[in-house]
Structure 1
Amino acid sequence: MRPWVPAFDAELRADPRLALLPGRYLAAFDDGRGDVAGLGADVGLLALDAGTVALLLAGADTGLRAVPQDAVGLALAATRAFLDERARQGGTAWRLAELSAGGARIAGALGGQRAEPVPVPPSPVTGPAGAVAQSDGRTALVAVVPLGRLTATQADLLAATAPTDLQVTPWRSVVVPDLADAAAAAELTAARLVLDPRSAWLRVTACAGLPGCARSLADVRADASRAVAAGALPAAGARQHWAGCGRRCGRPSGAVVDVVATGQGYRIGSGT
């Protein structure tokens, strides 16, 4: 499904009307392994087998089907139908799921092959890290970026390492695909990118914190970084989100322990 992405992007940019899409619109294309299908994207494609692709709306299977070569066209039709339904319902919704019966209305407006909807697999809460064997015998290196913030030096190194393109994942990591081997892993690690799948950085997220957010009561990114470096994460190192106030901005979905700044320390989960 890798050709779907540039094809969808080209068509998206070629249609001036699609510039009206809300800023949080999300499309997710899944090759059948279920890694991004469960992210609740507004419009999604999920390969069911080598010849069948399901259309997902707001993370649920609509029952609409396409062959792989027609899948991008179906996703674009659903995207345009989302804009139409959004306009009918006031034009203020950020996400398809905010519309009343949005998925059913949009699916009903689209023609095409239909089948019984199937359950959509949940997405994993963390992605891979380190060397991953590609199906063509080459190697991909998956580098986790602590708290999702790349330095200019790290970005330059990733670009220089990649023989083709780079892939940014939903798990705060960057994939360098199509390498002959994993030799570049040492240089990426030396640049403080994380290639160890056991690293605590795969389980720690944070909001902007001070000084980036005036509402924050602490520099949560610095505090979380010190806790990781010292091996002193709370909650026995469980998956956790550090937040500068009770709004808990950026909190990921799924089971996660809240580490919330109070001005006198941190409240961890329901304790202190």
Structure 2
Amino acid sequence: MTGRSRTDRCPGVLRPWIAKDGALVRLRLVGGQLTTQMLTDLMAISAEWADGTVLLTKRANLQLRGIAAVQNEDASACVPHEFADAVAAAGFLPTPTHERVRNIMVSPLSGRVGGRANLFPVATALDEALCADPAFAGLSARFLFVFDDGRGDLVDRSLDLGAMAVDAEHAQVRIGTDLWGEVVELEALPEVLLDLAGRFVRARGDAPDAPWHIDELDQPITDNHHARDLRTQVTSPWPPSGVLTQDDGRTAEVVDVPDGILTHDRVTQVLRRAGSEVIVTPWRSLVLPDLAHPV
């Protein structure tokens, strides 16, 4: 048992956290991915509605703060409708019902530099299926999926469900922080994880003190546990800022973000060097992938 008597209060766009300087909202990104156009639009939204900056989180998501809060009919606080509409139009709110449960981390360099497999397609498929099923709106907003592409950069992260690649076509399932499941084909991985997530939703119930994490359950959600595959026994640090050569011959640049705060000037510098995509990492940095020439 957890000893808690309330539901989680992790913020989203439609359910913000009210701080002293106004509302704080969190924008979920699948594996930290966003387009440069989305980043451009978000900076404009922050300049108009928030404090003019964008914050990076440890789960490779984004936050805005300093938003003027308004009152709902039930006296709870929310953000202005115009702000929420702008965030949705920029592509940061694909599903109002599931926005706070889209917590999916991926090795940021997956499919580009090193690693055993590209897990971004798997994460995207999981996100789409997660959002398509009303039952998964019942997950805690702290419930976390983690995909390590086999290099070991995320293997030490606490998680609820996830997987670690063991070769280009297979990954071993992870269940809670310490348990490991079977080795499955990457194509089957979203379905396997959704089945486990569904078991958790049913086991936790909907009481105010319902567990937030798999590790908090009194009973395991499955008995299908396996020994940890020896190929998962690897770790690797996140590379420092600088240019990396991608597996396809193009380059990627890792850009440190001091204090995890994107200001207008910093984003302007990033956009001058970026291609069409930016990847937020859990280490207060950005990856600018798929650059044609050294930067």
Take 2:238 and 2:248, find their aligned partners in 1: how far apart are those partners? 24
Query: How far is 1:36 from its partner?
Result: 1.0
CA offset at residue 151 of structure 1?
Answer: 1.3
Aligned position for 1:134: 246
Q: Is 1:10 the counterpart of 2:121 in the alignment?
A: no
The separation in 1 between residues aligned to 2:234 and 2:261, in whole angstroms, is 26
Q: Mark the CA change 1:97 to 1:31 in structure 2 (over 3 Å): closer, same or farther.
A: same
Separation in 2 of the partners of 1:52 and 1:122?
16
CA apart distance, 1:89: 8.8
Which entry has the higher C-alpha Rg, 1 or 2? 1
What is the TM-score when the length of structure 1 is the normalising length?
0.57
**1:125 shift after superposition:** 6.2
Match of 2:191 in 1: 73
1:150 corresponds, among 254, 262, 266, to 262
Give the deviation of 1:63 after TM superposition.
Answer: 2.9
TM-score w.r.t. the length of structure 2 is: 0.53
Say whether 1:27 aligns with 2:138: no
Question: Are the structure 2 counterparts of residues 4 and 99 from structure 1 closer, same or farther at C-alpha, using a change threshold of 3 Å?
Answer: same
Query: Partner letter of residue 123 of structure 2?
Result: V
Is 1:167 aligned with 2:279?
yes
Specify every segment of 5 or more residues in structure 1 that has no aligned partner in the other structure, as ranges.
Answer: 184-272
CA distance in 1 between counterparts of 2:195 and 2:240 reads 33
**What is the CA–CA distance in structure 2 between the aligned matches of 1:12 and 1:155, rounded to whole Å?**
31
Post-superposition, which runs of at least 4 consecutive aligned residues in structure 1 deviate over 4 A?
A: 88-91, 119-127
By how many angstroms is 1:69 displaced?
Answer: 1.0
Q: Which residue of 2 aligns with 1:179?
A: 291
Identity of aligned residues (%): 32
CA distance in 2, matches of 1:21, 1:164: 32
- Show the counterpart of 1:249: none
- What CA distance in whole angstroms lies between the structure 1 residues aligned with 2:237 and 2:216? 23
Aligned residues between the structures: 176
Output the amino acid matched with 2:178.
Answer: A
**In structure 1, how many angstroms separate the alpha carbons of the residues matched to 2:268 and 2:136?**
32
Q: Tell which has more relative contact order, 1 or 2 (C-alpha 8 A, sep 6+).
A: 2
Q: What are the superposed Cα offsets for residues 1-45 of structure 1, whole Å, 9 maximum, x if unpaired?
A: 221122111112111221221111111111111111220111111
Contact 1:62–1:107 (CA<8 Å) still a contact in 2? no
Q: State whether structure 2 residue 200 is matched by structure 1 residue 82.
A: yes
Go from structure 1 to structure 2 and tell me whether the alpha carbon gap of 1:127 and 1:25 turns closer, same or farther (over 3 Å shift).
Answer: farther
- Mapped to 1, the partners of 2:197 and 2:267 lie a distance apart of 32
Structure 2: any 5+ residue segments left out of the alignment? 1-118
Q: Distance in 1 between matches of 2:260 and 2:234?
A: 22
Q: CA RMSD in A?
A: 2.6
Tell whether the 8 Å contact from 1:27 to 1:41 is kept in structure 2 after alignment: yes
* Whole-Å separation in 2 of the counterparts to 1:96 and 1:54: 17
- Worse-superposed segment, 53-62 or 119-128: 119-128
Choose 61-70 or 26-35, whichever is displaced more: 61-70
Look up the SS of the partner of 2:173 in the other structure. strand
Give the superposition deviation at 1:156.
Answer: 5.0
Q: Counterparts of 1:144 and 1:100 in 2: how far apart (Å)? A: 41
Q: Which residue of 2 aligns with 1:107?
A: 222
> How far off is 1:98 after superposition?
2.2
Shift of 1:159: 4.8
